[in-house]
Amino acid sequence: MSTLPTASGSFGDKPQLTFPEGDAPGGLQVQVLEEGTGPVVEAGRTIVVNYLGQTWGGHVFDNSYDRGQTIDFPIGVGAVIGGWDKGLVGRNVGDRVLLSIPPEHGYGMRGVPQAGIGGGDTLVFVVDVVGVR
């Protein structure tokens, strides 16, 4: 039985992931690292987040912390990968969430080669839910 990576820092800090031995767990894994007390994120709303994305045991392929600005997008409506839609709806503003997203809820067998995401890669994100509107 594999466990999830651990993330350094707290809400608002750029996290660093430490991976356990072994393979990624199957299925979508959602772990709330810090509980927020803000409004609930509902499907169809626009969510505002900071995030770091890394392949399982591999490289960081994207993060908003280094850019110094959040991103926002509609949540729960298929505008982003399924793991984000399924893992972030129902969270609260102020939550820091770790998502382990298998390929079927991520980029599938195509991957995103230009980002260094291979077909079949499990993706790990740390997401700080900054706002919802």
CATH of the domain at 47: 3.10.50.40
pLDDT level of residue 2 (50, 70, 90 thresholds): low
Domains of the chain: total: 1
- Is 4 among the domain residues? no
- Is 95 among the domain residues? yes
- Is 118 among the domain residues? yes
* Average of per-residue pLDDT values in the chain: 96
> Domain limits at 82?
24-132
- Is 9 among the domain residues? no
- Is 76 among the domain residues? yes
- Is 2 among the domain residues? no
- Is 15 among the domain residues? no
Q: What is the pLDDT of residues 18-57, one digit of tens each?
A: 999 999 999 999 999 999 999 999 999 999 999 999 999 9
Percentage of the chain surpassing pLDDT 70? 98
- Is 30 among the domain residues? yes
Q: What is the pLDDT of residues 70-95, one digit of tens each?
A: 999 999 999 999 999 999 999 999 99
- Find the mean pLDDT for residues 101-107: 97
Is residue 5 predicted with pLDDT exceeding 70? yes
- Structure pTM? 0.96
Is residue 1 predicted with pLDDT exceeding 50? no
Rounded CA separation 11/27 (Å): 25
